[in-house]
Amino acid sequence: MPFAFSGFPPPSICITLVKNIAVKLPEDLLGRLDAVSKRRAEGRSSVVREALRRFLQTDPERSATGSFAQQAAGVAGCFKGPRDLSHAPRHMKAYGR
């Protein structure tokens, strides 16, 4: 019986095209990858993809994507001075001139 008449929605099909790459790993790193893969019951590729995504999201020098806040996360809060200049009238005297 066709899906339209069976009362069930048609199955959704999602196809993701991926490219293969080859990576050479030292034995200790491969061992750690295998341990994580086994603990999570996931394939090596899945673990490597997740690790690479996280690395590229958290390292602003290697990632050209993301919001300004994401890219500035490494330097936010590392400067000394007043937290918000707009709350101190003496800092706003010449603003807009």
Per-residue pLDDT at 57? 82
Per-residue pLDDT at 41? 95
Per-residue pLDDT at 1? 47
Is the separation of the CB atoms in 94 and 83 below 8 Å? no
**Rg of the Cα trace of the chain?**
25
Q: What pTM value is reported for the model?
A: 0.47
Mean pLDDT check: name the lowest of 23-27, 32-36, 74-78, 80-84.
80-84
Burial of 39 (0-12, 13-18, 19+ CB in 10 A): exposed
Residue with tokens 């993301």: 66
**What's the whole-number mean pLDDT along residues 17-42?**
93
Report the amino acid identity of residue 93. Answer: K
Domains of the chain, residue spans: 19-75
Per-residue pLDDT at 34? 96
10: pLDDT strictly greater than 90: no
3-state secondary structure of 17: coil
Measured CA to CA, the distance from residue 33 to residue 39 in angstroms comes to 10
Is the separation of the CB atoms in 33 and 25 below 8 Å? yes
Share of the chain above pLDDT 90, in %: 31
